Amino acid sequence: MDVTELDRILLAGAAVLLVAIVAVRLSGRLGLPSLLIYLGMGVALGESGLGIQFEDAQLAHALGFAALVIILTEGGLTTRWNEVRPVMPLGVVLATVGVAISVSVVACVAHFLLGMDWQLAVLLGAVTSPTDAAAVFSVLRRVPIRPRLRGALEAESGLNDAPTVLLVTLVSTGGIGDKGLWHFTGLVAYELVVGAVVGLLVGVLAVMLLRRVALSSAGLYPLAIVSLAFISYAGGTVLLHVSGFAAVYVTSLVIGRAELPHRIATRSFVDGFAWLAQIGLFVMLGLLASPSRIRLTDVLLALVIGIAVTVVGRFAAVTVSATPFRIPWKEQTFIAWAGLRGAVPIVLATIPLAEKVPQADRIFDVVFVLVVLFTLLQGPSLPWLAKRLKVLDDNAAHEVDIDVAPLESLGADMLQVQIPSESRLAGVEIGELRLPAGVSVSLVIRGQQAFVPERRTVLRAGDAVLVVAPSPLREQTVRRLRAVSRAGRLAGWFGERGREQL
C-alpha cells in the first residue's frame, strides 16, 4: 500500500465518520436508533451500492468482538453501581436461564414449524437470543426509566454474551454434541463466574493504581482505563479461557463506581470512543451483508423467527426469570419489550460463516433482516411504552454531574458540580449545603460570570460550582451534594442512603 492509497482510505474513512456523526442528529429527530442508519451506510458502500467488496467473516468476527469490548467498557463506566447491585441476580438469571428459554423456543419453532435441522435451529436460537449492549445502552439512556429496570437490562446485556458466544461456537464446530448438555452448562457457569472474578480483581487493582499514580495529563486517564479494560478481556480469554465480556463489564463497573480523578473527562472520552466503535461496527456489518442475496423467503423467515424470539421466547424468558424476584407485571412487560437486538446477533452470525457451516450465509441474511425489522419496531416504541406502563423515573432529572481533579501538593480535590434544571440544589444557599468542616465552595460560574460566593449566596439551575475538599472528605462531600440535589436543603447527612452513587 503506497502513501496515495492510504490517503484515499483516510479521506473516505473520515468522510464516512463525519456523515455518521451527523446521522446521530437525524436519527434522533426521526426517533430511529442510529444503528439502522449505520447499517444502511454500510450496505450503501458495499457490493450492492458503491461496490466495496468485504467478505472476510473471520476479520469481521475479530473486529466485532473488539468493538463490543469498547462498548461494554463505556456501558460499565456509565452504569450506576447502586442501580445494578440490587438487580444483579436478576440480570444473571436473565443472561443464563432467560437465554436458555429463548434459545429453546426459537429452536423448537425453527425445527418443528419450519422444518430446519437441529443444528441450524439451535444456531438461529443462540444467535438471536442475546440482547445487544450497544443498543440497550444507547436507547435506554434516552428513556428515563426506573433505576432497577435500567440496571437489570444493562446487567443482562453485559453478561448474556458469554453463554451465547460459547453455544454458537460449540454448535458451529460440532463440539456440543460430543460434550453433552451438562458439560455445556458447567462450562457456562465457569466462564461467567471466573470471568466476573477476573473482572473484579482487575477493576480493584485498576482503582488502586489510578488513585496512587498521578498522571501528568488528564488525557492519559481514559487511555489507561481503556487499556485496563482490554487487559481484563484478553487476560480472561487467553490465560483462563473464561468470558472476557463478563470480565470487562465487571472491571468497568468497578472503575465506574470509584471516585477517580477527571471522571467526567474520562467518561466523555470513552463515550466518544464507544460511538466510534459502534459506527465502525455497524458500517462493517452493513458491508458484510449482501442485499442482492436476500430473498422474500428470507424476509418471511426473519419475521417468523423474530416473532418467536421477541414475543414468545423473550416474554417467556422474562416471566420465568423475573417472577421469583416479585417484579410487577408492568415492569416485566417493559423488560421483555426492551430486550433490543443490535450488533451482537449479527456478530454472532459471523461465527458459523467463519466456520463454513452449511447454510451459514442464509443464517446471516435472516439475522440481518430480523435485526433491522425489529429494531425499527422496538426502538421508537420504548418511550411511549415506558410512559404507558408508568415505569418512568421521576427523580432522573435531579442528578448532578460531579467531576474530580486532584490537587496533589495540597492533599485536596477540586469538585466541579454541574446543577441541572430540576435539581433541588437550585434555590439552596451555600450555608444550607452543610458540607463537612474544612470543605469550601470556592467559585460559582453563572452564565458568563464567575464570582466567589458568600454563605447567603443562592445557587441556581445551570450554575457550575467549584468545591475544594480535603481528599479524606471527598466522598462525604459528594454524598452530601447528591443528597441535597435529590431531597433539598432538609436532606439528612446521608440523605436517601442506598440511592447514592458511592
Q: What is the mean pLDDT of residues 16-45?
A: 75
404-409, Cβ contacts within 8 angstroms, sequence gap of 24 or more: 404/259, 404/260, 404/261, 404/262, 404/263, 404/474, 405/218, 405/261, 405/262, 406/214, 406/261, 406/471, 407/468, 408/214
Confidence check: pLDDT of 396 > 60? no
Answer whether 260's CB lies under 8 Å from 404's CB: yes
- pLDDT above 50: residue 495: no
pLDDT at res. 399: 59
Quickly list DSSP for 12-28. HHHHHHHHHHHHHHHHH
CA distance 250 to 40: 33
Examine the pLDDT at 215 and tell me if it is beyond 80.
no
Rounded to whole angstroms, how far apart are CA atoms 130 and 146? 22
- 114-132 average pLDDT score: 89
Name which of 95, 476, 41 is nearest 259 in CA terms.
476
What are the cell numbers at 302?
A: 426473519
Q: How confident is the model at residue 33 (pLDDT cuts 50, 70, 90)?
A: low
CA distances from 278 to 37, 64, 65, 379, 473 (A): 11, 9, 11, 16, 39
Q: Please tell me the distance from the alpha carbon of residue 24 to that of residue 32, in angstroms, as a whole number.
A: 9
Q: Using 50, 70 and 90 to split pLDDT, how confident is the model at 501?
A: very low
Query: Is the pLDDT score of 204 beyond 80?
Result: yes
The predicted model gives 65-82 an average pLDDT of 83
How far apart CA 494 and CA 275 sit, in angstroms, is: 36
Mean pLDDT of 57-67: 87
What's the grid cell of residue 71?
Answer: 462498548
- pLDDT greater than 80 at residue 138: no
Q: Report d(CA 91, CA 143) in Å as an integer.
A: 19
Is 70 exceeded by the pLDDT of residue 496?
no
**Angstrom distance (rounded) from CA 383 to CA 334:** 10
d(CA 404, CA 466): 10
Q: Which residue has the higher pLDDT, 500 or 183?
A: 183
**Mean pLDDT to the nearest integer, 20-47:** 74
> Using CA atoms, how far apart are residues 150 and 159, in angstroms rounded to an integer?
14
pLDDT beyond 60 at 23: yes
CA–CA separation, 349 vs 409, rounded Å? 54
The answer to whether 388 touches 366, Cβ cutoff 8 Å, is no
Average pLDDT over residues 358-364: 87
pLDDT, position 445? 92
Share of the chain above pLDDT 90, in %: 21
* Alpha-carbon gap, residue 283 to 286, rounded angstroms: 5
- Phi then psi dihedrals of residue 399, to 5 deg: -75, 150
How many Cβ atoms sit within 10 Å of the Cβ of residue 456? Answer: 9
The top-scoring range by mean pLDDT among 237-241, 384-388, 496-500 is 384-388
Alpha-carbon distance 210 to 406, whole Å?
Answer: 11
- Region of poorest pLDDT, from 52-66, 147-161, 409-423, 487-501: 487-501
Averaged pLDDT, 226-242: 84
Residue type, position 493, single letter: W
pLDDT at 497 over 50: no
Asked if pLDDT for residue 266 goes beyond 90, the answer is no
Q: For the residues 193-204, what does the mean pLDDT come to?
A: 90
Where does the pLDDT of residue 444 fall: very low under 50, low under 70, confident under 90, or very high at 90 and above? very high
pLDDT score of 133:
74
pLDDT mean across residues, the chain: 83
Asked if 38 contacts 283 with a C-beta cutoff of 8 angstroms, the reply is: yes
Bridge partners (DSSP) listed for residue 451: 444
> Which residue has better confidence, 182 or 327?
327
pLDDT for the residue 404: 65
Helices (H), 31-116: 34-45, 57-78, 81-93, 99-108
d(Cα 320, Cα 298) in Å, to the nearest integer?
31
- Helix, strand, coil distribution of the chain in percent, nearest 5: 70, 5, 25
Distance (Å, whole) CA 77 – CA 422: 24
CA distance 106 to 306: 9
C-alpha cell at 341: 437486538
Q: Give the burial class of 372: count Cβ atoms within 10 A of its Cβ; 0-12 exposed, 13-18 middle, 19 or more buried.
A: buried
C-alpha cell at 482: 447528591
Order the strands of the 449-451 sheet from edge to edge: 401-407, 412-418, 464-470, 440-446, 449-451
Residues 326-345 have a mean pLDDT of 89
Beta-bridge partner residues of 431:
none
pLDDT of residue 316: 94
Choose between 499 and 213: higher pLDDT.
213
Mean pLDDT, residues 19-43 taken together:
73
What's the DSSP call for residue 146?
Answer: -
What band does 332 get if pLDDT is binned at 50, 70 and 90?
Answer: very high
**Could you tell me the domains of the chain?**
11-389 (1.20.1530.20), 413-490 (3.30.70.1450)
Q: What is the pTM of this model?
A: 0.75
CA atoms 473, 477, 478, 483: torsion sign: positive
Average of pLDDT values for 126-142? 78
CA separation (Å) from 406 to 84, 181, 260, 416, 474? 28, 52, 9, 11, 11
Q: Which residue has the higher pLDDT, 381 or 240?
A: 381
Contact criterion met (CB below 8 Å) for 339 and 131: yes
257 vs 29, which has greater pLDDT? 257
- Positive or negative, the CA dihedral 33, 34, 37, 39 is negative
- pLDDT above 50 (res 500): no
